[in-house]
């Protein structure tokens, strides 16, 4: 193939062949990628030797507090019980069980088998009871149901958008993507 010749694909798209690197010289300065890729200085400063510190940079306390409040609101509304309560430690434990379940490849297993006396995972059993896990799973919410209808008129993703936007901002503050 010579530069300037054309090819036609089966769907009638016409392609013109050009020679690679046909423009001699350096790239224009606006076309040169100069940014460092990888973790930002903010992330490097705030991550210590624990996985939890990295987790908290992306899934911040603000996100976790929002999930906690929405879940408690849902449980209290459904149960008609203003005394229903969940601590931040329980929410952390709940998420830890979800991670462990995925890490050990148990995502297709019945929940009861994870807490089984004979076959259950000792870490999961020590983290939280099966009944409390199911209760939190039942009421887990990511938005305030009371104001959902109004927000859905303007935002189709209203049920997750608050957390999603915060998560994206946190990820952008912690990592600079680059070419693969």
pLDDT tens-digit map of 47-59: 998 888 999 999 9
Which pLDDT value is given to residue 22?
58
Which pLDDT value is given to residue 51?
87
Q: Buried (b) or exposed (e) across 114-152, using 16+ Cβ within 10 A?
A: bbeeeeebeebeebbebeebebbeebebebbeeeeeebe
Read off the tokens for 131: 């009944």
pLDDT tens-digit map of 156-173: 888 898 899 999 999 999
Interval 7-24 mean pLDDT: 76
Give the global pTM: 0.75
101/118 Cα distance (integer angstroms): 17
Q: Buried (b) or exposed (e) across 65-82, using 16+ Cβ within 10 A?
A: ebbbebbbbbbeeeeeee
Which pLDDT value is given to residue 26?
63
């Amino acid at each position: 193939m010579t530069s300037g010749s054309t090819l036609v694909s089966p769907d009638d798209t016409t392609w013109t062949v050009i020679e690679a690197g046909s423009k001699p010289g350096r790239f224009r300065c606006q076309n040169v990628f100069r940014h460092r890729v990888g973790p930002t200085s903010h992330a490097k400063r705030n991550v210590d030797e624990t996985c939890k510190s990295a987790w908290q940079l992306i899934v911040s306390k603000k996100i976790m507090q929002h999930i906690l409040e929405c879940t408690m609101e849902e449980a209290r509304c459904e149960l008609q019980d203003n005394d229903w309560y969940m601590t931040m430690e329980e929410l952390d434990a709940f998420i830890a069980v979800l991670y462990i379940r995925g890490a050990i490849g148990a995502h297709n297993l019945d929940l009861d088998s994870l807490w089984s006396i004979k076959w259950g995972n000792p870490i999961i059993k020590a983290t939280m009871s099966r009944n409390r896990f199911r209760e939190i799973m039942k009421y887990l919410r990511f938005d305030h149901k009371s104001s959902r209808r109004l927000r859905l008129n303007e935002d189709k993703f209203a049920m997750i958008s608050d957390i999603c936007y915060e998560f994206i901002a946190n990820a952008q503050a912690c990592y600079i993507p680059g070419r693969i």
